[in-house]
């Protein structure tokens, strides 16, 4: 076909039609989309990867379910583990600097190198989020997280051991918990059961339960 282009994904040479996403190009070439694929909608971060900028050669990042094929592109998926599960209860978080520092003391180590910002495929200014959090500006830090797909790339590139997305997540959850006056912010198996109980309870019981949080 005249408008076919050639590119490489994960070392495989593929042909594709302009307008396809990288994942569509893989599927069109008979590659099974198992692993490194989740929502197919730019939300889960499972398909994150990198490629060299065609002009500068500098590394760029993108989501393969969103990024469109380009002739000569050389894309590699990035598998980045996010570390152990968070240990705190969101409803108990303190939306201030002492609270953040008690959970994330590493926040003060930020060297403002900008690596986390430059690597983010969603264009989130992760460094600004870290610096805001470390100054106690939690509402601003938490707001930055809105488009985050939890790909963990910002954590992977930080040489001083900061996970910017986790700092911003703390900020977001702490602010939400404060606004909700103790209402659980993140559903867990336990909170799901409590939610069911609250749905069946009378208003006085609900008020008492919330005040007890
Ligand atoms: S903030 Fe970090 S985890 Fe979130 S999308 Fe950007 S690089 Fe990925
Ligand atoms: S990569 Fe680490 S040290 Fe560099 S700006 Fe981001 S959080 Fe700070
Ligand atoms: S598959 Fe979920 S963001 Fe691409």
The CATH class that applies to domain 5-77 reads alpha beta
For the chain, what is the HEC assignment? CCCCEEEEECCEEEEECCCCEHHHHHHHCCCCCCCCCCCCCCCCCCCEEEEECCCCCCEEEEECCCCECCCCCEEEECCCCCCCCCCCCHHHCCCCHHHHHHHCHHHHHCCCCCHHHHHCCCCCCHHHHHHHHHCCCHHHHHHCCCCCCCCCHHHHHCCCCCCHHHHHHHHHHHHHHHHCCCCCCCCCHHHHHHHHHHHCCCHHHHHHHHHCC
pLDDT of residue 184: 45
Asked whether the predicted pLDDT for residue 194 surpasses 90, the reply is: no
| Averaged pLDDT for residues 22-51 | 92
pLDDT of residue 80: 82
Distance in Å, CA 160 to ligand 2 centroid: 7
Distance in Å, CA 208 to ligand 2 centroid: 43
| Pocket perturbation via mutation, ligand 1, pick of 120, 132, 142 by most ligand atoms within 8 A of CB | 120
pLDDT band at 34 (very low <50, low <70, confident <90, very high): confident
CB of 154 sitting under 6 A from ligand 1: yes
Indicate which atom in ligand 3 lies nearest the CA of residue 45.
3
Asked whether the predicted pLDDT for residue 202 surpasses 80, the reply is: no
CB of 35 sitting under 6 A from ligand 3: no
Distance in Å, CA 107 to ligand 2 centroid: 9
**Could you give the residue range(s) of every CATH 3.10.20.740 domain in the chain?**
5-77
CB of 59 sitting under 6 A from ligand 3: no
State the ligand closest to the CA atom of 133.
2
Q: What is the mean pLDDT of the chain?
A: 88
Distance in Å, CA 188 to ligand 3 centroid: 23
Asked whether the predicted pLDDT for residue 183 surpasses 50, the reply is: no
Residues having CB within 6 Å of any atom of ligand 2: 110-116, 126-127, 130, 157-158, 160, 162, 164
| Averaged pLDDT for residues 206-213 | 58
């Amino acid at each position: 076909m005249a408008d076919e282009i050639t590119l490489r994904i994960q070392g495989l040479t593929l042909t594709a039609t302009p307008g396809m996403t990288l994942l569509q190009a893989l599927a069109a070439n008979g590659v099974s989309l198992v692993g490194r694929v989740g929502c197919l909608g730019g939300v889960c971060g499972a398909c994150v990867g990198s490629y060299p900028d065609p002009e500068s050669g500098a590394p760029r990042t993108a989501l393969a379910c969103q990024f469109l094929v380009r002739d000569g592109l050389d894309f590699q998926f990035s598998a980045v583990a996010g570390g152990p599960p968070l240990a705190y209860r969101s409803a108990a978080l303190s939306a201030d600097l002492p609270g953040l520092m008690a959970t994330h003391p590493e926040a003060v180590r930020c060297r403002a190198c900008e690596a986390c910002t430059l690597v983010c495929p969603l264009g989130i200014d992760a460094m600004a989020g870290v610096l805001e959090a470390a100054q106690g500006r939690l509402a601003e830090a938490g707001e930055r997280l809105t488009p985050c797909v939890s790909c963990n790339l910002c954590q992977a590139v930080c040489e001083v051991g900061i996970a910017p997305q986790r700092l911003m997540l703390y900020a977001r959850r702490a602010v939400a918990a404060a606004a909700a006056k103790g209402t659980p912010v993140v559903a867990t198996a336990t909170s799901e059961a409590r939610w069911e109980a609250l749905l069946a309870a009378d208003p006085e019981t609900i008020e008492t339960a919330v005040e007890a949080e």
